[in-house]
Structure 1
Amino acid sequence: MSDWARTRRLSCRVVLSSDEPLTGDLHLQPLGSPEHPVETPLEMLNRPERFFALAVDDDVRLISKDAVRAVAVERDQMESHPLARRVEVQLRTDDGADYRGTVEIELAPPSNRLLDFLNQPEPFLALLADDQSWCLNRHRLLWVRPL
């Protein structure tokens, strides 16, 4: 039996470095603990595998994470961290698109500045906007401005 039956599907919109954006379903893995039963989109994107599966209509696309600028999901599909420091930011990607929202910084002082957060090794970061949440590829960011 295929592992696809055990994944949780989550609707999203994937903005690529070239080509049109894709709307489809991510396949998130079960993690098995009661506190954390399924991975988040951010966790999936930050796994070391170079590709992820996106179900588009009745087809499957295997998407290179390096080619992804952003992944949009519903606001309530991203974990919020109540003890994190929140910083309102504007970000610009390498295609000239602007994003505004809040990043949550969970780093120990004195290394908990926005600059320290941006320089973390994970390729994707979460941006919580009013209407949706974004997973943005750090390698596709031109600049970030605190608001």
Structure 2
Amino acid sequence: MQHEHPDDRYRARTHTARARTHAEFSSQFAGTWGQAVIHGLKLVAVATVSLLAIFLPGLLVVSSALPVWRALAARTQAVRMLAGVNAAVVGLLASALYDPVWIGAIHGSKDFAIAVIAFVGLMTARCPPLLAVVWCVLASLLRGYWP
């Protein structure tokens, strides 16, 4: 019987992680690296330290930029410019929502009704997002019984 080398498991996990988003890849890489590098210590503790080592530099950069951000937010011209940037980001997010989510999930009028009810519940009734998700799942499971 051939034994699997720890490096083979590490390579398989990193190749699998490449298909995922960057944040998922970073966290999986850090956790896997922590497990693969040090075998004698507690693996969970090493994986946690590795995970912190991956994300701590970004957190420090963001926290160091906060005073500059506050000074920038005090200028009206900069606020107008950032409003335009925010509008562009909303447009990108809307296009990202349309292609995989809308095309993959809305197949007919029943699906559209489920989505509209969830959206109205989120926007007007201020229901919790988890409740909207539960509504969508249950209604999707039961939609075959609707006339």
Q: Which has the higher contact order (CA 8 A, sep 6+)?
A: 1
Q: Which has the larger radius of gyration?
A: 2
* TM score, norm. by length of structure 2: 0.20
**Bigger share in strand:** 1
